[in-house]
Structure 1
Amino acid sequence: MTVTEYLDKALADSEKAAPEDLVFSHKGILYPFTFCNPETFQVLDSFEVRSDDVILAGYPKNGTNWLDQILNDLVITAAKYTEEEMNERINIGNELSVFLRLEFGDPEKFKRMKELPSRRIIITHLPPQVLPKSIFKSKAKILLLVRNPKDTAVSYFHFHNNMPPLPSFNSWNEYFTAFMHGKLCWGSYFDYLIEWNKHIDDENVMMITYEEMKENRASGVKRIAEFFGLLLTEEQLQAVAERSSFQAMKANAQKTHGAFGNVLFRKGDVNDWKKLFNEDQNQEMDKTFEEHLASTKLGAKIKYEVYCKT
């Protein structure tokens, strides 16, 4: 099953489900039934990570689909695959029905993933305390992608209300309360970053922000390639950066993500939050960030004063 077939089937299945049947809870965090399986979480620790796996972690709507495109392009370009080799890799993944989001799919997927050739690119929205222990034991390199909380909240609001597999909200105000209390799929944005801050100094973890990628995509692409030890020329790096522009990805979204394409690649803006936040919500978000993240290394890298102040 291809990625687009998987996503299209998930969309069709979720449209038949009652609202109360859309989510389940695992260790106090909500997950969507359409993509995730409670039994998969029970065997998550059985997943064996390879030291050369490329792992991308990020809270939902922080830009993981964008960085997934960049990572795939970098790995393919650095490996110098022929067209035949590329097609073989794609066919193996399709035949095994493995969608490389760690928490997606059936519990047998981890056995099938053993047959995938290196380098595997693995994406996850899971917080570190839920991840398989082998991720940290293996010393596989982890790219942590972070976006400022206000733009994350707005982007996730539109995502929730345009994605049948996720519960929808009657209003922005109703959603904002849920966001601030972590009552969304994949849980609290703040708890997620608090947990990842514990790993910010790990030598195998690199953090990059959505905003710095927007400001200078070419520089970000180069940093990512160097972190994963992917050897590309300056010309190749520039080509990867150009192919990963928001406009290029949105134009190709139907092919890469099927019916989900328009929902996944909505606007890609910075400061979109100013259209929805009222003054009380601004103050609540500012206070929560100050209390939980402002004094952390990870929080400092978000540049809250730059991106989240009116």
Structure 2
Amino acid sequence: MNTIIDQALSIYKPVQILLLFSGGHDSLCSTHYCANYLTAKGLDFSVYHGNTSIGIGQTREFVRDVCRQYSWKLTERTPEPGNRYEDLVRKYGFPGPASHKYMYRMLKERPLRNFVTHVCKSSTYARENVLLLTGIRGSESKIRMGYREQITKEGSRIWCSPIFFWSAEDIEQYIISHGLPRNSVKDAICISGECLCGAFAGKEEWYEINLHFPEAADEIRRLHKIAIANGHPWEWASYPVPYQRSIKSAPAKLYLCVGCEARNHADSDPLKNERKVRKRQRRRARIEEDRQRRKK
């Protein structure tokens, strides 16, 4: 991991380094690891969190609390006025799978790109690089989607994935061994919850949000009333229907939204889905066991 960070630093000589922290456990581990490594090397960095304007509030607070705990400088950016989730719902209604790339662009990609271009670089047209250290891991589904490289250059943005080869077990072990705080949202519904655009969401996700985070569900209901008033009556998570789930769009490298893309491209075989549910249950049981051991 140190080698891949050093390689990115040596080749691209970034003017700034951003640690991308969504609030999920993968990005938590990546941010903690990279922060320790960069601090040891005497290099300055900032933590970046994209506030999508449609997320679970506990996740945003988790990111802020962790940054305060470790004294990390935090930059939190939101979409531009007119491109916030409420604005998009008012114009177009709740998104389905075909709208995911547009949601990604407006809610996540454009705020980061503007920050890199207009804040991190010395001038808009300067030929400078900004290193973005992410928590992307190279699971089988993500490799099939084209996420094979640990370092990728995209204009001035250098995407680097130091924990690319970590497994889910590595993540859990790192959290336990370093005593890192856990995101209660991730533990409850198995997603970080920083973005609830709903493009790939199903009814099961809506039920979990409604059960565990009713204030987020209430916000979605409020937005639904706005959508209805503007001629867009369909509900959040009303797509995709089974037929649409079977039609996979071409893979796209959406670095800030890898989890959603991976779930959409995952095999829809019912038996495999059942196995995933059982895996989630076993994982939650292990987490609870670890908590009980630490209490003792």
Shared fold, TM over 0.5 = no
Which TM-score band (shorter chain)? 0.3 to 0.5
TM-score (norm 2): 0.35
TM-score (norm 1): 0.34
